[in-house]
Amino acid sequence: MVATLDAHKGHGRIPTTGRGASRQEGGKVHQLLRLSDEVEQALREGRPVVACETTVINHGPPYPGNLELACAIDQAVRDGGAVPATIGIADGHFVVGMSDGELDRFAGTKHIPKASTRDVGMILASGGLGATTVASSLFIADHAGIPVLSTGGIGGVHRNTSVTFDISADLMELTRRQVAVVCSGAKSILDVGLTLEYLETLGVPVIGYRCADFPAYYCTSSGFPNPQRTDELATLAAAIDVHWKAGATGSVVVTSPIEAEDALDSDRVEQAVQGAVQEAERDGVHGAAITPYLLKAVSAATEGRSAAASRAVLISTAKLAGQVARALADRQE
Ligand code: PSU
Ligand code: MN
């Protein structure tokens, strides 16, 4: 059984911050949302919920490894103290919170289209499946009233962007939605320096939790510092909450690196990324296809070690996201 969102109106997350503007637009989007009973109930009771994307599952490790990964991410959110809400598009709806059967469908169906924000209308209308990116998951989480999203690494400014103009929609969506995004920095395939510059331009706070450096997904450091840092969960939750209470309309990025023993060597990853970028150019890969292509190429070049690192990152950020969601919920009591 799934619940529609009507019961959720006016409930759930922190009403004082006024986020989820679309909920005031006649509630039309609510008809498109399909929340699991567990997620709907948790939101109604003001309990912590964490949104998770599905691109990382469908375009991640081969089945059934990706199903096992999705379940491990869910469990990590629970270990952190929150209810996991895996997001995807199916049967003309935004699915928010998946049953085991739905997770299996998203993991086991080959090549579900990667759905960024601009794609959601076509995919909803088609009635087919869509694997949500950070951008579209933010869009949907915000509509559903979920204040925290967990991912491995956000998208950002791609390398060679002066030629390709390729800047992930994840960055723009961070300015439109009020969600705390817990991640291990940005993907190493990107230009991390330019990504940080762009986040500054967009007014998106980037706060390192117990880390000085902005991480680079599989690596503990990108070589760039986090613009801000705190080592206290309560301070982190306060910073996020007050950012919104002050009237800021965008998201907050929280970074936490992969554990040192799971991390890959930065020089080795950089070498692999440079090789992969050249291969992508040679093969004429660009647009939405570039991120999955580069991640796969790096995985091959590191003899699959990046797959294990990616798993470790996703699990550690999911656990912290659960803790952040709980700390945010505690502030509303
Ligand atoms: N993990 C993968 N493949 C992907 C992504 C993650 O194995 O494509 C994603 C994330 O969902 C992220 C998105 O939000 O790529 C960014 O892609 P782009 O640069 O096309 O905006
Ligand atoms: Mn792009």
pLDDT in tens, 45-80: 999 999 999 999 999 999 999 999 999 999 999 999
Residues 6+ apart with CB under 8 A from 113: 119, 123, 128, 129, 130, 131
Q: Residues enclosing ligand 1, CB less than 6 A?
A: 53, 55-56, 59-60, 114, 116, 133-135, 155, 168-170, 288, 291-292, 295
- Residues whose CB falls within 8 Å of the CB of residue 14, separated by 6 or more in sequence, listed in order: 147, 241, 244, 328, 332
231 CA from centroid of ligand 2 (Å): 33
Those residues whose C-beta lies under 8 Å from the C-beta of residue 59, and which sit 6 or more positions away, are 114, 131, 292, 295
- The contacts of residue 10 (CB under 8 Å, 6+ apart) are none
Which atom of ligand 1 lies nearest, measured to the CA of 295? 7
Per-residue pLDDT at 5: 42
| 235 Cβ contact partners less than 8 Å away, ≥ 6 residues apart | none
Q: So what's the pLDDT on residue 63?
A: 98
Q: What's the mean per-residue pLDDT of the chain?
A: 92
User: Average pLDDT in the 245-265 region?
Assistant: 97
Of the CA atoms within 13 Å of residue 317, those in its CB half-sphere come to 35
Which amino acid residue places its CA nearest to atom 10 of ligand 1? 133
Is 28 known to be catalytic? Answer: no
How far is the centre of ligand 2, averaged over its atoms, from the C-alpha of 156 (Å)? 8
Provide the pLDDT for residue 155.
98
Closest approach atom of ligand 1 to CA 288: 20
- For residues 211 and 257, the answer to whether their CB atoms sit within 8 Å is yes
User: Of 170, 291, 313, which is best to mutate to test ligand 1, by the most ligand atoms within 8 angstroms of its C-beta?
Assistant: 291
Name residue 86's beta-bridge partners. Answer: 52
Q: Is 53 an annotated catalytic residue? A: yes
pLDDT, tens digit, 9 for 90 and up, residues 3-52: 444 433 333 343 333 445 444 444 678 899 999 999 999 999 999 999 99
Q: Over the stretch 92-122, which tens digit does the pLDDT of each residue have?
A: 999 999 999 999 999 999 999 999 999 999 9
Averaged pLDDT for residues 223-237:
98
142 marked ligand binding residue: no
Contact 202, 250 (CB under 8 A): yes
Per the residue annotation, which of 40, 53, 102, 173 is the catalytic one? Answer: 53
Can you give the pLDDT at residue 14? Answer: 37
Find the ligand nearest to 135 CA: 1
pLDDT of residue 3: 46
What pLDDT score does 27 carry?
61
What's the pLDDT tens digit per position in 163-176? Answer: 999 999 999 999 99
**pLDDT tens-digit map of 128-148:** 999 999 999 999 999 999 999
For ligand 1, pick from 52, 55, 57, 183 the residue to mutate: most ligand atoms within 8 Å of CB. Answer: 55
Contact of 207 with 237, CB cutoff 8 Å: no
* Atom nearest to 53 CA in ligand 1: 11
Task: Record the pTM.
Answer: 0.93
**Is 77 annotated as ligand-binding?**
no
Tell me: pLDDT of 309 over 50. yes
What's the CA-to-centroid distance between 288 and ligand 2, angstroms?
A: 5
pLDDT at 304: 87
Marked catalytic residue, from 102, 173, 187, 319 = 187
Tokens of 120: 């959601």
Closest approach atom of ligand 1 to CA 133: 11
Contact 319, 80 (CB under 8 A): yes
The percent of residues above 90 in pLDDT, for the chain, comes to 90
The confidence score (pLDDT) of residue 29 equals 80
